Amino acid sequence: MGYLATYATEQGFNVGVFDAEAHGLAVDATIERVNSLSPRWAGFNLLAPTYQISARIAAHLDPSIKIILGGHQAKAMPAEILTDPRMFRCEALVLGEGETRVPELLHDHRSRVELPGVMWLDPVTRNPVTGGLPGTQAHLSPDINSLPFIDRRFLAQDPHYDRGRWEANMVGARGCPYNCSFCGTAVSANPDITIRTRNPENILAEMHQLRDSGVTAFRFVDDLFLGARRVIDQMMAAFTTEDIGKWAVWDATGRINVLHRASDETLDTLANNGLREVALGIESGSERMLELIDKRINPQMTRTVVRRLTERGINVKGYFILGFPTETCAEIDSTVRLIHTLWDLTEPLPGQFRASVFEYRPYPGTPDWHRLMATGRYTAQQLLDYSAVDLTETGVDASMRARDEFNFSVNLPLANAPLDYIRTQLVALAHEQHARTASAA
């Protein structure tokens, strides 16, 4: 949303980003606030777990406000969303990256006929239709090196102060070449996206701009910064030339299979250039589960990569999922054992390992979603019935508050292991991680 707002502002439009969650506003207060501003347009970034909230807000906006939709859920289920009565004022549903298309729509929504990947509901037939003229496909993959740096006035909590530094999020690439079966960014779920990375010079220019405002910590939130050898080599050559490690620290997402093949020299270079923490999608300690979700790793690779990183003082955050479809209690136990092994392995090392564990939930458009629907045992409505899960007896638990992920579930027995067993293990791991973090502070 910040990139869309930045680009539209540069095209002369008066734009704002309203992050109701960051401001702690309830749904009714959000509706009241948007209506009081009387914008010509209201745009929504639709996500599966929060779609019902977005639809409720859209249904209660002033009739004079046009609606534009985008996001993962919009791409995964466009026809269902356009025919949702609560979205009846939607004039454009934008599939994929929208920087160059949104300003065209803001100028005149009838341009949707010419723009690729823009859908709406035909007023006569009441069927979804898609625009696009020959020669307009460039809109689907804007040149990310020519886009303006995001205007952080549109971001409610970025930069933010953490651990003695001002920290900002960065996006170094778009798209992911992998096909993890549970992930909304899986390549098979995003055939419209061309995978591309920003030039090192472009990234460094934004980092230096942020440094001028006091930022010295960065978090690269895209999938490719440490997920492709070519990108690592190019970026580290540029970071070394600019002496980034002398004034900055940074975190990034990595791929275990890529880092497993990295030389000692490459890992030393990452550490010397200020790499503070790597986030790794480990997901499971079961080889069957890892193969099923197309992760392209095994537990031994994970142990090796975590050890090599933490030996160099680079922290590792591991993401895990409990309750994959068909997963057994024994396979969940193997994940629990792997987490404990990684805790014990890194305890004497300069870098530390922390685990972030959450319950499996299906997302529309992913390989898992198609697999589950193909069984004939579930309806889309069942798989979309996300609800909050209280994992504590009293509802107040410091270890739960410290979790990065919001606890929600579709409450279906997708795994062979019972839901109670999954949640018992999840709570135990969260408590243990909280205790370890507190003792290290």
pLDDT for 396 equals 53
Task: Please write the tens of the pLDDT for every residue from 323-371.
Answer: 999 999 999 999 999 999 999 999 999 999 999 999 999 999 999 999 9
**Phi, psi (rounded to 5 degrees) for 127:** -110, 145
Task: Please write the tens of the pLDDT for every residue from 390-426.
Answer: 776 655 566 565 554 457 889 999 999 999 999 999 9
Task: Please write the tens of the pLDDT for every residue from 12-22.
Answer: 999 999 999 88
Residues 389 and 359: beta-carbon distance below 8 Å: yes
pLDDT interval class at 89 (50, 70, 90): very high
pLDDT for 209 equals 97
Task: Please write the tens of the pLDDT for every residue from 171-207.
Answer: 999 888 889 999 988 888 888 888 889 999 999 999 9
In the block, which residue shows the tokens 């996001």? Answer: 71
Averaged pLDDT of the chain: 93
Task: Please write the tens of the pLDDT for every residue from 123-147.
Answer: 999 999 999 999 999 999 899 999 9
Task: Please write the tens of the pLDDT for every residue from 90-132.
Answer: 999 999 999 999 999 999 999 999 999 999 999 999 999 999 9
Residues 377 and 341: beta-carbon distance below 8 Å: no
pLDDT for 398 equals 62
Mean pLDDT of 291-295: 96
Provide the angle, in degrees to the nearest 10, between the axes of the packed helices 229-241 and 200-211: 50
Task: Name the β-bridge partners of 90.
Answer: 67
Domains of the chain: 2-140 (3.40.50.280), 158-440 (3.80.30.20)
CA R_g for the chain: 22
Residues 320 and 341: beta-carbon distance below 8 Å: no
pLDDT for 403 equals 53
Classify burial at 168, counting beta carbons within 10 Å of its beta carbon; exposed 0-12, middle 13-18, buried 19 or more.
buried
Residues 53 and 21: beta-carbon distance below 8 Å: no
Among 51-55, 159-163, 183-187, the minimum mean pLDDT is found in: 183-187
Spatial CA neighbour of 380 closest among 392, 372, 391: 372
Among 184-188, 230-234, 311-315, the minimum mean pLDDT is found in: 184-188
| N-terminal to C-terminal alpha carbon distance within the chain | 35
Spatial CA neighbour of 331 closest among 439, 425, 199, 237: 425
